[in-house]
Amino acid sequence: MIQHNKISDSDLRNKIKNGEICFGGNRKLKIYGTLKCSSGKRMRRENRVFFLSESEARQNGFRPCGHCMKTEYLNWKNGLI
């Protein structure tokens, strides 16, 4: 898990381009989603964290976003994950 306020913008862009970051999340709400999610783009920088994979996000106690990851969210909500 990488916190947004502890990484420079250029390092962040490079990690996304190289596939080292694939998902973003809200540290306070414990929700993760895709990097293109409109909900995720509105969150404050100090609350934003990044993950390499969904499994990394889940290991850190995050749940899928109901907006950009509807199927995964419904599976999580119904206890299938």
The model's confidence at residue 61, banded by pLDDT at 50, 70 and 90, is very high
pLDDT digits (tens, 9 = 90+) for 3-36: 999 999 999 999 999 999 999 999 999 999 999 9
Query: Residue written as tokens 């119904």?
Result: 78
Distance between CA atoms of residues 39 and 36, nearest Å: 9
Residue-wise DSSP of the chain: -EEGGGS-HHHHHHHHHTTS--EEEETTTTEEEETT-HHHHTS-GGGEEEESSHHHHHHTT-EE-TTT-HHHHHHHHTT--
Residue 81 has pLDDT above 70, yes or no: no
Question: Which are the contacts of 19, defined by CB distance < 8 A and separation ≥ 6?
Answer: none
